[in-house]
Chains A and B, each alone.
Chain A
Amino acid sequence: MKIGKLKRYLPRGRHVVIGVPFLWLFLFFLLPFFIVLKISFAEADVAIPPYTEIYSWAENQLQIVLNLGNYIFLSEDELYLAAYLGSLKMATISTLLCLLIGYPMAYAIARASKEMQTTLLLLIMMPTWTAILIRVYAWMGILSNNGLLNGFLQMLGVINEPLQILNTNLAVYIGVVYSYLPFMILPLYANLVKHDHSLLEAASDLGSSTFNSFWKITVPLSKNGIVAGSMLVFIPVVGEFVIPELLGGPETLMIGKVLWQEFFNNRDWPVASALAVVMLAILIVPIILFNRNQAKEMEGRA
């Protein structure tokens, strides 16, 4: 065999460079979703692992049995529908709150002096690297009936009886906004800092009010940042487990928590898989939107 021919069989450098991360992500990120899809069509079984195979091979016949029972079960039980709606509502409202609070913060950072910007960014970024679990836990002590917030309000004489905040939806909103706020601020800042100020100056020279030029120039220009930030908050919050588990109460119905219980407490892997498939189907549009946006950011050389 000639050396040239041998070389063709060996992967060329370029293929190795692309292949290694591709293979890893394919094997440990993409392929698992197909397995979830497969198991969502299986039946629960008392075995290890606790589900039945969906295909069988006997007498030269390949039989694939798709059991739709899990999906029918999901649509019949009101608990699951309520959990999906609860998650979507929680995610939508939290995203809006994060946007309302985060936009002015990102704007202020983008307008600060260069040295100040790095320090402020560090201050915003640091909590995202710190245990979300611990930051949520910190709120448990503050929001509980005999916690600091109630103590403070009682001391001021605003209330006589302690307010029930912990274990309600309000506590979950506080926890979610608190945990995800940096994920809104960072992409917004990255976008706002690139803006050309001469546009705003031109607008004010032409007699536009500050608010008007903000609304007509800054906001439309920051569209990509708003989309990226909103998706970074919305998508993970839909599947959030830790925050509703620690801060939420019986009224808090969220799909991440239900999936967790279905999997760990009821050990019903097929139903848990079906829950995940439906959740993914709901999120597919926002995920594609985020990926497109991110691809534009990553490729566009400004």
Chain B
Amino acid sequence: MLSVTAETPTASRLRLAVHDWAGHDAGQHVDVRLTAPDGYTAQRSYSIASPPQAPHLDLVVERLEDGEVSGYLTEELRGGDLLELRGPIGGYFVWPATAAGPVQLIAGGSGVVPFLSMLGHHRATRSETQVRLLYSARSEADLIGTGELAGAGISTTVTLTRAAPPGWEGLRRRVDVTMLAEHTLAPERSPLVFVCGPTSFVETVAAGLLSLGHDQSRIKTERFGATGGP
């Protein structure tokens, strides 16, 4: 572990040096395994935030109330510690290097993490693919990766669901069908759409996209399902 830094009031960025790293595709994740002195282990998945070109591996972990692994990673872990991880995993929710058409990314909360890797990859390769990101966060302070959301050919729309700073002129409600219709690429352009966030967010967005006429086979989802939910 190179460093653990605060990314937002509730999320930390873990920067790791991984030797023998075989490289990854933007959008893939790793499995992190923690081991207690009595041999008890807990394992969770975390998306890779850094692009394949970066010399290190970044994860951004959101601390959940009573979360067993996220609590440890954000509050106990520090530079110099060892972390057992496995990966990269997942070949499905990845940057479509071969995709010809435009790409729409839709993130809720920490669901933006795999998109940070994709946007970084887009910049590093000077890709000409048009990318739009619609990103829903609770407040401005909760935005993850603020310095990494822009780039040539990338347009980002942020919506704040709980609190907005004085003078905020952007969107400030939860993502709904109207917002999808107004702030994402139209189905007529056949974009490849990636949706990532909590399960309920993904369900709402995916259903909204289908009702707007997007082709189901062009929508890829990743659910950061908290394990405690219904």
> Are A and B co-members of a single complex?
no
Residues on A lying within 8 angstroms of B by beta carbon are none
Residues on B lying within 8 angstroms of A by beta carbon are none
